Structure 1
Amino acid sequence: MRILFKIVALSLIITFGHNTINAQPRVRLTREQDRNNPEDYIIYANNPTGEDRHVVVIFTDLVGYTSSLANPPAVNIGPGRSKLLRMKRDELTSGATFQFEYYTHPGVANPKIKKVDYVLPVDPGKTVSVKKLTDARLSFGGASAENIYYGLAFTGNEGDTIRAVRGGMVQEIVQDQDTEGQNVVFSKTKNYLTIKHADGTIASYDIFKSKSAMVEEGDEVLAGAPLALLTGENYQMGPNFRLSIRYLKFTYSKALKSNEWYSYHYIKPKFSTAKEGVRELQGNYTYTAVLNDDLITQDMSRKQKKKYLKSKR
């Protein structure tokens, strides 16, 4: 989304870009004079979408003001009102004007990825077989080393419980899609759910039994929480589900369109296992799941951890 915001000699002009959709809530930027320094301005973002957004400010005219953030300012914001940046008046310049466009994109861009030990997504004590998924784009030269897809397939028995590999908030659930055909390798129609972690990474759980989701969008779940039931008996590898963990990467370039500044990158998580310890999973190998309080609370604040441990007494 592109929005034009202009201030000239203390006047305010707002123009919405051609791709703004009137019926949908959108992020709006406003400016307020600094009470302590009336010649300075503070730019605020008002986000009514209820979701995280990444905001990029592009200055098209800048005279007599200095931004508190490097150019171009790019900030992750949550729902509600957020302070973006300060525009400081340069007292040595007689004229004063600044004009900018701003763009918004859903998600948390360039997150600070936390090092955590992931939980195997099956019942504690259960042994599960793992396969690495191949990025089909590699065969056609369509993937680079930076954004290559990385995913894991966990095989099991029909009706097994799929569990959360890490705590977070359920973002999206699709559970009314049936995969058609037999001996399937890949299908565009599939059930899936996504969970956003505290550091902004997103786990996608693909392929599970229709109408079997045990959580709802907006739910906060802990590591090891039951999510849905295993299916996929018509897949070539038998009943299975797929897991991938990604994050949003932002790279600014004048030569690119705003939607081209963003791409999803994938991480290779390390899992806690009963026998091999913490490690990156290897394909065509079996591992035994383990779950304990340290794994469940590793993403929690001290206050949250204390409350969780107290609730178990």
Structure 2
Amino acid sequence: MTKLVLFIYLFLSCTSALFAQITIETERDKENNVIFYATNLAEIPYSVVLNFSQIQNLTTPAGGNTTVVANPGRTKVATLSPTLAGQGSSYRYSYSFAKGNVYAKTKVNPAYLVPVSEGTVVKAVLNNPLEATVGNESAKGSYVGVSFMFDQPVEIVAPRKGIIAAMKMDANVTGNNLSFVAEENFIEIYHEDGTFTKLTVLKPGSEKVKVGQQVFPGEVLAESGGENYSQGPHVRMINIKTVKDSDRLIHQPFPVSFVSDKGNVEIKQYITFEVVHPEEVVVLEMSKRELKTYQEGK
């Protein structure tokens, strides 16, 4: 079956513009401990790798490099303790970071809604990285998300509970019969297990949410776009997790299963089905307070 063509970097390179989101400062206390503080300007946690290239008479939390989590605001993230009291100490370090909490775990087995209005009939297909279409054999099989196509424009909804981590909704895509564009509107959602959902091909200016806002499954985020694409109106979705690769952090795409009228499906080939929003999925990750508010509002 035909697969859609798109640049993988549209999904994975969004952190390049956020290079100043995290800053690290150090202080010495009266016991001569070196305390590391992270200032995180974002609405979501970031993972930080502290790489120590030189260290004398100090003990690090985890050897030559230490991975910590910087929550929003200013937080203490690490401490170097003197190895021998009363002697001098020194250190030199660098740091790198990536959005997301590399240590976060899910409390439940998450379920994902197809991110469009309930009752919509969608045609789902795996996306294909551009490199694979121009002869790069190594790119074939690389997972870069899925696309959901529909006959008419629809509302785009949250597939899962989370916080709006980032968005861009001012790109006016011009041209006809497009397959991909270098700049696309998107909304990104951060989930409590440290993963992200990124939705692209959205109508400019149609956002119904703002960065930092908590959303629940089925909540309207924006309106769909794609009318001037070769495949017509559609939305693209990819899920990403932050993982440590040696001494660096990377964002790794991964597939998920979707709720449908045919049961839970993982998109592996072209498939058509109707979108459903079961209440048990909508309330799955709600706290007791959130569930009470939801039930009172019904």
TM norm structure 1: 0.77
Equivalent in the alignment of 1:184: 178
Runs of at least 4 residues of structure 1 off by over 6 A? none
Equivalent in the alignment of 1:73: 66
**Aligned partner (choices 123, 126, 133) of residue 117 of structure 2:** 123
How many residues end up aligned between the 2 structures? 274
Q: In structure 1, what is the Cα distance between the partners aligned to 2:93 and 2:232?
A: 51
Aligned-residue offset at 1:112 = 3.8
Deviations 1:215-255 (A, max 9, x none): 222221111111122232221111111111112333234xx
Q: In structure 2, what is the Cα distance between the partners aligned to 1:142 and 1:206?
A: 25
**8 Å CA contact retained: 1:208, 1:231:** yes
Equivalent in the alignment of 2:23: 27
**Match of 1:87, as an amino acid?**
L
Equivalent in the alignment of 1:222: 216
**Match of 2:199, as an amino acid?**
Y
Deviations 1:163-214 (A, max 9, x none): 1111211122222222222221122233222111222222111112222222
**8 Å CA contact retained: 1:63, 1:95:** no
Gaps of 5+ in 2: 1-19
Aligned-residue offset at 1:272 = 1.6
Higher Cα Rg: structure 1 or 2?
Answer: 1
Change in CA separation of 1:309 and 1:70 when aligned onto 2, cut-off 3 Å: farther
Q: In structure 2, what is the Cα distance between the partners aligned to 1:186 and 1:111?
A: 34
RMSD across aligned positions (CA): 2.7
**8 Å CA contact retained: 2:104, 2:192:** no
Higher relative contact order (CA 8 A, sep 6+): 2
Change in CA separation of 1:202 and 1:216 when aligned onto 2, cut-off 3 Å: same
Q: In structure 1, what is the Cα distance between the partners aligned to 2:176 and 2:254?
A: 31
Change in CA separation of 1:296 and 1:169 when aligned onto 2, cut-off 3 Å: same
Change in CA separation of 1:26 and 1:201 when aligned onto 2, cut-off 3 Å: closer
Aligned-residue offset at 1:77 = 0.9
Q: In structure 1, what is the Cα distance between the partners aligned to 2:118 and 2:88?
A: 64
Change in CA separation of 1:136 and 1:111 when aligned onto 2, cut-off 3 Å: farther
**8 Å CA contact retained: 2:283, 2:291:** no
Q: Does 1:311 align with 2:296?
A: yes
Change in CA separation of 1:173 and 1:25 when aligned onto 2, cut-off 3 Å: closer
Equivalent in the alignment of 1:289: 275
Equivalent in the alignment of 2:95: 103
Gaps of 5+ in 1: 1-23, 254-260
**8 Å CA contact retained: 1:159, 1:230:** yes
TM norm structure 2: 0.80
Q: In structure 2, what is the Cα distance between the partners aligned to 1:65 and 1:144?
A: 47
Percent identical? 23
